[in-house]
Structure 1
Amino acid sequence: MRKRMWMFWSVCAVAAVAVFSLSLAARAAESAPYKVVETSGNIEIREYPDLVLASTASRFSARGNDGSFMKLFRYISGNNAAGNKIEMTSPVFMEPDTAGAPGRMGFVMPQQIASRGAPAPKAGDVSIRKREGGRFAVIRFNGVMDARKADAQEQKLRQWMKTRGLESEGVAERAGYDPPFTLGPFRRNEVLIRLKSKEE
């Protein structure tokens, strides 16, 4: 019995290491650049440049199961005017639904692709758009991200911002850095809130 239990936990440990290694490999791909201005525990103030995204409508509560993820994945897999495959980058940005518009999911275009112009999507429900750069407050957390967890982290971030006298601009974004097979404890998730410029 003890031997079986030992073998079971050994297999679990090997599997966990394998998934962790795959997750690290996935993160080794190009990631959206930013500059850290301030750090406070798991919260950062970051400066982002303009980014180019392939984007489509998405319900955040569906976590990509509404087909939004696959629409964007098909785009970078060659379903574009150039027929080119585009490297998957991180993170995947997600904007929640608002009263006036559906949410959006966006894949960040690699810098080389963005600089020369991303190819036009073949699918009518995928578009290329610019994500305006700027300063963001960001909170980082692990686990499988759902609306409830993201909302709780957003409230923590807004409370921290309040203590610093920082004002927000627009809705909060969510960002996921890992593929679906990554175990919850190894997943990197973030909530980002654009900060209002002090000059405004």
Structure 2
Amino acid sequence: MTGRVRIELDQIYTKGVITEQRYTEDFCFVDPILRIQGRAAFAQNLRLLTSVFDIEHVLHSINPGDGTEEIVTRWTFSAKVKAIPWQQKLIFTGRSYYAISGAGQLQSQRDVWDAVLDNDFLSVEGVQHIMKMALSPMQTPNLDTPKYQVLKKMSDYEVRKYCQYVTAEIPMPSGSGPASGSGFNDLAGYIFGSNKEQQKMEMTTPVLTTAGQTSKSGKMAFVMEERMGIDSLPMPTDSRMQLMTEGNKVVAALSFSGLPLDNEVIEAERRLRGALLVDGLLPEDGYTLARYNDPFTLPILRRNEVLINLKDFELE
């Protein structure tokens, strides 16, 4: 049965149709904001959903549930309105609990989101979660940026698995704050042609800053263009600058807008670390500030993030 459910999930969000014989006529779907009764109504809602939104559904796992007639899936679901390209992407993660009829058909689906505690229909938390994402003013420039998959979307932070990417980094003076701009001009010079090959490259996002600590200096890093591997990058003329391969790691990210002053960054790091510990996740020491926007972007529209690496994360 799990194989049939996997096949069904592979097609419904790409084709926008269901395989009717796999569902009972009285199939019921419920999540924190929707309740749909009947196979025909579920199919109609799915057609509407896929006609309005660009949808991505990633199935992380599918397993039998506690009962003999239950299947449980874990997934990441994202949606973005097709006609409004600048709108924020809505991201949900969680589990689906499928009840199976005696004839082997899907009888019901109950979705539980990671971001809310009250998953009953109609959840005030669920509505607030959607409004918070949809009305977020933060903007991400249309530039190359490291790719990642959201594994868990919580109310205040995300857990992400980053793909591999390359950076150019330069040390910052010992004791530099996380919002320091030290090193920016050197890195900008490198990508705009101040390198041994005098090769110009495109600007990317975000700018990454690791604050200086007592025992070592911090660093600032620019992400390199996705098309360029570490072996194809021009050599820096500045001996302090290094080309590094990053990624392939699981990171917790807390986003906030405004001007990322040192005290605001430190407070965001404390909030994120505290939330991780409450949720039973193991944060590593240190953190990174990611700044996505140029200095001319209004503070309210800026996207900033505090990133903390996680130890031994497993998606349960």
* TM-score normalised by L of structure 1: 0.81
1:193 aligns with 308
Superposition pairs for residues 1-150 of structure 1, below 5 Å?
27-58=141-172, 59-60=176-177, 63-64=180-181, 66=182, 68-114=183-229, 116-150=231-265
Which amino acid is the alignment partner of residue 145 of structure 2?
S
1:3 aligns with none
Equivalent position SS for 2:265: helix
Separation of aligned partners in 1, 2:244 and 2:230: 13
Instruction: Tell me how far 1:129 sits from its aligned partner.
Output: 1.5
Separation of aligned partners in 2, 1:153 and 1:62: 12
Residue deviations 1:99-130 (CA, integer Å, cap 9, x gap): 22111000001111126532110112222122
Aligned length: 174
Separation of aligned partners in 2, 1:149 and 1:62: 9
1:156 matched to 2:271? The reply is: yes
Which amino acid is the alignment partner of residue 60 of structure 1?
G
Residue deviations 1:7-64 (CA, integer Å, cap 9, x gap): xxxxxxxxxxxxxxxx96x701111111111112341000012221111112335621
Q: Which has the higher contact order (CA 8 A, sep 6+)?
A: 1
In the alignment, is the contact (CA less than 8 A) between 1:178 and 1:188 conserved in 2?
Answer: yes
Instruction: Tell me how far 1:142 sits from its aligned partner.
Output: 0.3
TM-align CA RMSD = 1.9
Which amino acid is the alignment partner of residue 300 of structure 2?
P
Structure 2: state its 5+ residue gaps. Answer: 1-137
In the alignment, is the contact (CA less than 8 A) between 2:179 and 2:260 conserved in 1?
Answer: no
* TM-score normalised by L of structure 2: 0.52
- Structure with greater Cα Rg: 2
Q: Greater helix share, 1 or 2?
A: 1
Q: Greater strand share, 1 or 2?
A: 2
Residue deviations 1:175-200 (CA, integer Å, cap 9, x gap): 0000112121111000000000158x
